[in-house]
């Protein structure tokens, strides 16, 4: 009976493990996205700051037309920049406004990261707990009462 129970419990724990692990994977993926966004924002900020420092108004660049075919492009005035604010909207900023915006966005990004990190941590903890319970169940029938007590510690 006990063995049967143990087996059932073991199965349950395995199932939980799978679920938990999947959740973990999802959480990790979404956090990685946020990481990327954060990186992009930081790169943009750096570029704008560089432009500001050097008082660069126009610049030439190569535009990817598709399939790695580039064409020269010129930006005559770098004062205005269009920023992606989410949901498919692009807002026209001046360079300075853009920098402010980027700063704000970076903060929000950090918060998101922290949230996701917390979720991930939680999931990881649950997985560890499940493992531990499985171990206990397996060890109980083999253990002596004394050792079990030790294990619980």
Give me the residues that bind another protein (CB under 8 A), please: 40-41, 43-44, 47, 61-63, 65-78, 80-84, 90, 98
CB of 42 to another protein, least distance (A): 10
How far apart, in Å, are the Cα atoms of 6 and each of 3, 41, 149, 152?
5, 52, 18, 17
Q: Which of 153, 132, 141 is nearest to 17 (CA)?
A: 132
CB nearer another protein, residue 79 or residue 139:
79
Give the integer Cα–Cα distance in Å for 78 and 61.
12
CB nearer another protein, residue 83 or residue 113:
83
CB nearer another protein, residue 30 or residue 78:
78
Give the integer Cα–Cα distance in Å for 146 and 152.
10
CB of 68 to another protein, least distance (A): 4
CB of 45 to another protein, least distance (A): 10
Q: Which of 20, 52, 45, 24 is nearest to 109 (CA)?
A: 45
CB of 37 to another protein, least distance (A): 8
CB nearer another protein, residue 1 or residue 62:
62
Give the integer Cα–Cα distance in Å for 127 and 122.
9
């Amino acid at each position: 009976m006990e063995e049967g129970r143990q087996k059932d419990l073991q199965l349950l724990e395995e199932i939980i493990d799978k679920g938990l692990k999947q959740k973990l994977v999802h959480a990790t993926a979404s956090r990685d996205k946020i990481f990327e966004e954060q990186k992009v924002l930081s790169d943009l900020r750096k570029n704008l700051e560089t432009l500001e420092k050097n008082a660069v108004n126009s610049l030439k660049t190569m535009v990817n037309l598709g399939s790695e075919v580039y064409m020269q492009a010129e930006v005559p005035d770098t004062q205005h920049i269009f920023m992606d604010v989410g949901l498919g909207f692009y807002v026209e900023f001046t360079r300075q406004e853009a920098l402010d915006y980027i700063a704000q966005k970076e903060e929000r990004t950090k918060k998101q990261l922290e949230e996701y990190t917390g979720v991930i941590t939680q999931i990881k903890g649950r997985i560890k707990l499940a493992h531990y319970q499985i171990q206990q169940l397996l060890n109980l029938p083999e253990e002596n009462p004394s050792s079990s007590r030790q294990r619980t510690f």
